[in-house]
Amino acid sequence: MRKLDLNGWEIYQLDATRFALDGGAMFGVVPRVLWGRKIKPDERNRIPMATHPLLIKTDDSLVLIDTGMGTGWDEKFRDIYAVEERDLFEGTDFGYEDVDVVIATHLHFDHMAGAVDSEGKLLFENADIYVNSFEMADALFPHARSRASYVAERIHPLRDRVVLVEGTREILPGITMIQTGGHTRGHSVVLVEKGDRAVLFLADLVPTVHHVHYPYIMAYDLYPVETLQKKYEIYQEAVKYGWILAFEHDREGRMGTLYIESGRPVLQEI
Ligand SMILES: [Zn+2]
């Protein structure tokens, strides 16, 4: 767990589930000889990853962006994805009941399955849960290309509990869901602004620090050219305003600011 002060708001980069995904699927059209220099795959060609949801203690609310994978997965699932289940709130003084708002960047199992236990019980009893409306529809009715990423038993319990968001919307003062599309139709990133500082939670727009360069786009993305366009757009603002970028999927939590050098985005880690 890593903690950051944002002009008085506490930002926690949590250490949730550890897992692994196929390196080829994670790097799309980038050849293995190139991505293999940045990160070493295991004997099953999987690269080590994790989920790092962002917990924000504002002046009056506790807000969680994504939940990780949660617990209670069966042996087959844990084997396929090399899952190591962990306590979402480890290292903080908070628990599920303290969370006022949950924001879902999208409903893939590695982002939001942790909202529900293996019995289908919602774990955030006191929270309003915000989900993009396209994402909710697509998660309830997946197609053959997207089905493996949506686990029905962890999505259906959310159905009557979520607040649907269309497009880009400020959820609380200073906390804005920005629909990017790309990875999925309704995929969203979240901007957290307090005073003159801001953190942008990138979710699957840029899943790890190794995906900062423009063509490093996952094969999982349903609309990869949209991802590319959004990277250009969001990077321009991130550079202009000095946003801190928070990455969700590196094995260890990573954050940094961006600058452009000879047309290429370069991350300055903090
Ligand atoms: Zn995803």
If one counts the domains in the chain, the total is 1
CA 86–ligand 1 middle distance (angstroms): 19
**Ligand 1 centre distance from Cα of residue 132 (Å):** 14
3-state class of 123 per DSSP? coil
Residue 22 within a domain: yes
Ligand 1 centroid from CA 205, angstroms: 9
Backbone dihedral region for residue 72 (phi beyond 0: left; psi -120 to 50: alpha; all else: beta): left
Task: Indicate whether 227 belongs to any domain.
Answer: no
Q: Has residue 171 been placed in a domain?
A: yes
Q: How far is the CA of 195 from the centre of ligand 1 (A)?
A: 30
Is there a domain that residue 254 lies in? no
Q: What is the pLDDT, as a whole number, of residue 118? A: 93
**d(CA 48, ligand 1 centre) in Å:** 16
Domain of 11: which CATH number? Answer: 3.60.15.10
- Look up the domain containing 148 and give its range: 2-199
**Residues that place a CB less than 5 A from ion ligand 1:** 108, 204
pTM (two decimals): 0.97
**Is residue 62 one of the residues assigned to a domain?**
yes
For residue 68, give the nearest of 93, 50, 55 by alpha carbon.
Answer: 50
Query: What confidence score (pLDDT) does residue 24 get?
Result: 98
CA of 264 to the centre of ligand 1 (A): 25
pLDDT of residue 58: 98
Q: In what order do the strands lie in the sheet with 197-201?
A: 169-172, 175-179, 188-194, 197-201, 244-247, 254-261, 264-269
Q: 175 in a domain, yes or no?
A: yes
Distance from Cα 187 to the centre of ligand 1, integer Å = 8
pLDDT in the model for residue 62: 98
Distance 186 CA to ligand 1 centre (A): 11
Cα(111) to ligand 1 centroid in Å equals: 7
User: Is 239 inside a domain boundary?
Assistant: no
How far away, in angstroms, is 185 Cα from ligand 1 center?
A: 11
- CB contact set of 31 (below 8 Å; sequence gap of 6+): none
If you measure from the C-alpha of residue 230 to the centroid of ligand 1, how many angstroms do you get, rounded to a whole number?
A: 16
Residue 245, in any domain of the structure: no
Distance (Å) from CA 196 to ligand 1 centroid: 30
Q: From first to last of its 270 residues, what are the pLDDT tens digits of the chain?
A: 999 999 999 999 999 999 999 999 999 999 999 999 999 999 999 999 999 999 999 999 999 999 999 999 999 999 999 999 999 999 999 999 999 999 999 999 999 999 999 999 999 999 999 999 999 999 999 999 999 999 999 999 999 999 999 999 999 999 999 999 999 999 999 999 999 999 999 999 999 999 999 999 999 999 999 999 999 999 999 999 999 999 999 999 999 999 999 999 999 999
**CA 206 to ligand 1 center in whole angstroms:** 11
Tokens of 49: 């990853």
CA 259 – ligand 1 centroid, Å: 26
